[in-house]
Each structure stands twice: as C-alpha cells, then as structure tokens.
Structure 1
C-alpha cells in the first residue's frame, strides 16, 4: 500500500519510521529535515503535500496546529490540489474537533 506522511516532528517521525519498517511504500514531506533513518528505510522525500497526495493511497497528517492543517489541506500546494479519488486522508493533529469536522466536510465536497 502506498502511504504518505505530512509532518515529521517528534510524534510524526517515529510513526512514519514504523510504517516504513512494516514495508509500506512511503512518501513524506515536512518543514524540517527528514530523518536519515526514514530515508534509509526507503521513504521518498518530496516538497509538497500535493506531491505526497499524488503518490499515496492513504495520507497521514501530523502537524502542530489548526492553521497548519488548513494549509496542508487547502493551501496552494495542499492535498486538495491533487485528485482525491480513491484516497483517504487521516488527520492525527491535535486540533479543534469543530475545525476537524469543517475540514472533513470541505475535503468530502472536493472529492
């Protein structure tokens, strides 16, 4: 299964490493450097959330706050700029449940 991971901080990096160790094809992006261990496990580092989405069936988002989730989803190079047909987005960020529901509605309306 082709997986994507957006946000490789303190929580995201270990999760992504476990997915790569389990043998999943993984495309990743983050604002900082990608851990060498993750790259050595075969993860492919790309520049944008859109590129992660284009290369993945399931996209995991793990960023710090609501504005970053909104940017990852709807920004100029966000997930929703790619075709969403047949894709699943899993947001694991610690944000407002109200905003999560609003974002889910918007994503569902787009495909």
Structure 2
C-alpha cells in the first residue's frame, strides 16, 4: 500500500466508497477502529452487534491485502477496553490475510 492509499482510507468507514461525499462515521452508530494491516485506520460499523459477535472478530474483503479479493483478518485483543454507546467503542487488530 502506498501513501495515497493510506490517506484515502483514514477516517473512512469500511464498506463506504472512496468517492462517497461523506465516507466517515454516522452519528449514533458504534464503530471498531481497525489497527494495522491493509485496512489500518478504517472504522468498522459494529452497531447492534452482540458481545459474542465482537469477540469473534472479522474477515473483511479487500483488494489491498496479500491476496487481492481475499480477506484481512481482524480481532479484538482480550482485555482491551470497550466503551459502550455510539462512537468508536473498541479496536480490532490485524492478525493476517486469507485468500
């Protein structure tokens, strides 16, 4: 990933198009910040997820990983703080790629 790709991703919500006029977070929604890997700096909308779903982590489709069109794996770290309510409530850390 180059610097242009990184700038494009900062502050954007995963799944929103890069040319969306407002790709950032929406008021009243809950997000996980993605840390490391190809999606570093993106927010993932986890609004309405149960605790068990957050604990399971995610496999997110990306063209920026080791396998274009594959998935980047992100998981919460045990013991990391979680804030209830809207805004960024937790972090998911990059753990690898899968085809």
Structure having the higher helix fraction is 1
Higher strand share: 2
Q: TM-score, normalised by structure 1?
A: 0.26
Give the TM-score of the pair, scaled to structure 2: 0.28
